[in-house]
């Protein structure tokens, strides 16, 4: 979340950033933050003054007792009891203001980086680059939801019987393709210096708040209410929370972790042909990369992460493009996001397969994730993450783009993992 001091010291910049995001009532919300903070500070000042008076009276009582003036000391003690009551009341009111301020800050998104374009929706995103040749398919080309039936590799009906819509069953070469992609992505990441971790796939409420998934304004998380737990929407949540309430050394940067997990999203309100088949699922597999860096190095790290994800798409022989998201299409916690989209030749449209984001201090402020430099001062670190990669739409594009009259050709880089080069 945003820091109050940053809002106070950079008010116009913060206001302009929220307006770029099309955040409603930005000015009044920021003014409310400053008003609550002012009241909180007044409570603190008054409490400190009373505490100083109490300390002074305690010394006075001690002196009177030494001088044998017990009656005078008892009279002074009555003021001490009054002060204690006043301090307790002030502390309770301070806590109320602190809670109100925190809850208000939770509703304010991150401030976009200066390079983020203005805009209201995906149509306003900026195309940074395009790479690869869009394949030319036969007239009888098939979308992946027909291909998976033809080759019996993914079964949505079985998944619906077991769990419900949006929970597919992968079978035979379809299951092996999933495993091959996961292993390929993990091997590539570890070769680039990422440390592999296998985190829990359920998190507590504190973890959800720390990375910004809570409060869940859009109702997209699956909640295990009886236990106060949530199924993770992405491995970003547990991996980043490894560093909650941690002070790391500046010498540890960059901290690079990678993890594979299933991901769970309710996808409330999603419908239509654009979410058919693998395009939108309630459960899917994803490999996630997470970095924690020095603030001066985070945008360099973002470019490195973007280039790394692009290298995966190149090795998979998939045509792709990179978008810089506009203010109105960015995630709540991000300062700058690149989306990678692959072209689906059968559906004849672009499919998002990765988001790579820099959160600057937005998450680390919630996490209380700091680093200590040579000057021994503690400073908030910057956090970043990226999908590297999410499997469903990668699988959809591989199936559709590589279909031939003899079967579906597999990318060469996957053949050693698969043990076959065709799905037929």
Q: What is the pLDDT of residue 275?
A: 76
pLDDT at 270 over 70: no
Model pLDDT for residues 110-162, shown as the tens digit of each residue: 999 999 999 999 999 999 999 999 999 999 999 999 999 999 999 999 999 99
Q: What is the pLDDT of residue 272?
A: 56
Q: What is the mean pLDDT of residues 341-361?
A: 97
Model pLDDT for residues 49-94, shown as the tens digit of each residue: 998 888 888 888 788 777 777 777 777 777 788 888 899 999 999 9
Q: Domain 4-106 maps to which CATH number in 3.40.50.720, 1.10.287.40, 2.60.40.10, 2.40.30.170?
A: 1.10.287.40
Residue list, annotated binding site for ATP: 265-267, 352-355
Residue list, annotated binding site: 234, 265-267, 288, 352-355, 385
Q: What is the pLDDT of residue 71?
A: 72
How far apart CA 350 and CA 397 sit, in angstroms, is: 10
Residue 271's pLDDT band (boundaries 50, 70, 90)? low
Model pLDDT for residues 157-180, shown as the tens digit of each residue: 999 999 999 999 999 999 999 999
Q: Which of 92, 375, 368, 385 is nearest to 247 (CA)?
A: 368
Residue boundaries of the structural domains of the chain: 4-106, 122-423
pLDDT more than 90, % of the chain: 87
How far apart CA 341 and CA 167 sit, in angstroms, is: 23
Residue list, annotated binding site for L-serine: 234, 265, 288, 385
Q: What is the pLDDT of residue 273?
A: 54
Domains 4-106 and 122-423 share a fold: no
Q: What is the mean pLDDT of residues 199-227?
A: 95
pLDDT at 244 over 90: yes
How far apart CA 314 and CA 305 sit, in angstroms, is: 14
CATH number of 122-423: 3.30.930.10
How far apart CA 254 and CA 358 sit, in angstroms, is: 14
Residue, of 36 and 81, whose pLDDT is higher: 36
CA 199 → CA 196, 235, 253, 289, distances in Å?
Answer: 10, 8, 21, 13
Residue 269's pLDDT band (boundaries 50, 70, 90)? low
């Amino acid at each position: 979340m945003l820091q109050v001091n940053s809002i106070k010291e950079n008010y116009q910049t913060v206001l302009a950033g929220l307006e770029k995001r099309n955040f409603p009532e930005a000015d009044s919300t920021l003014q409310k933050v400053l008003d609550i903070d002012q009241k909180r500070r007044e409570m603190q000042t008054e409490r400190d003054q009373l505490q100083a008076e109490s300390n002074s009276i305690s010394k006075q009582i001690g002196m009177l007792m030494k001088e044998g003036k017990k009656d005078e000391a008892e009279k002074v003690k009555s003021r001490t009891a009054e002060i204690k009551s006043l301090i307790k009341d002030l502390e309770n009111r301070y806590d109320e203001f602190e809670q109100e301020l925190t809850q208000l800050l939770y509703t304010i998104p991150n401030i976009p980086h200066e390079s983020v374009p203005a805009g209201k929706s995906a149509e306003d995103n900026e195309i940074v680059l395009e790479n690869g040749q869009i394949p030319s398919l036969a007239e009888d080309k098939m979308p992946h939801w027909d291909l998976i039936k033809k080759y019996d590799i993914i079964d949505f009906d079985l998944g619906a019987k077991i769990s419900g819509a949006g929970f597919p069953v992968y079978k035979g070469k379809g299951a092996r393709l999933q495993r091959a992609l996961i292993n390929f992505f993990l091997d590539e990441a570890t070769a680039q210096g990422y440390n592999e971790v296998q985190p829990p796939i359920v998190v507590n409420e504190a973890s959800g708040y720390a990375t910004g998934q809570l409060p869940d304004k859009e109702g997209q998380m699956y909640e295990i209410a009886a236990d106060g737990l949530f199924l993770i929407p992405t491995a970003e949540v547990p991996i980043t929370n490894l560093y909650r309430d941690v002070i790391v050394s500046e010498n540890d940067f960059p901290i690079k972790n990678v993890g594979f997990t299933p991901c769970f999203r309710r996808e409330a309100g999603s419908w239509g042909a654009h979410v058919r088949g693998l395009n939108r699922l309630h459960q899917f597999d994803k490999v996630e990369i997470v970095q924690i860096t020095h603030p001066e190095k985070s945008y360099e790290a973002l470019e490195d992460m973007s280039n790394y994800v692009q290298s995966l798409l190149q090795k998979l022989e998939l045509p792709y493009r990179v978008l810089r998201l506009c203010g109105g299409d960015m995630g709540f916690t991000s300062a700058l996001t690149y989306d990678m989209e692959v072209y689906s030749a059968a559906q004849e449209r672009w499919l998002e397969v990765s988001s790579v984001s820099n959160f600057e201090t937005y998450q680390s402020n919630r996490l209380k994730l700091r680093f200590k430099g040579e000057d021994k001062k503690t400073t908030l670190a910057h956090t970043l993450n990226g999908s590297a990669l999410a499997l469903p739409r990668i699988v959809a594009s591989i199936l559709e783009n590589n279909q031939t009259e003899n079967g579906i050709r597999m990318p060469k880089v996957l053949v050693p993992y698969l043990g076959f080069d065709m799905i037929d």
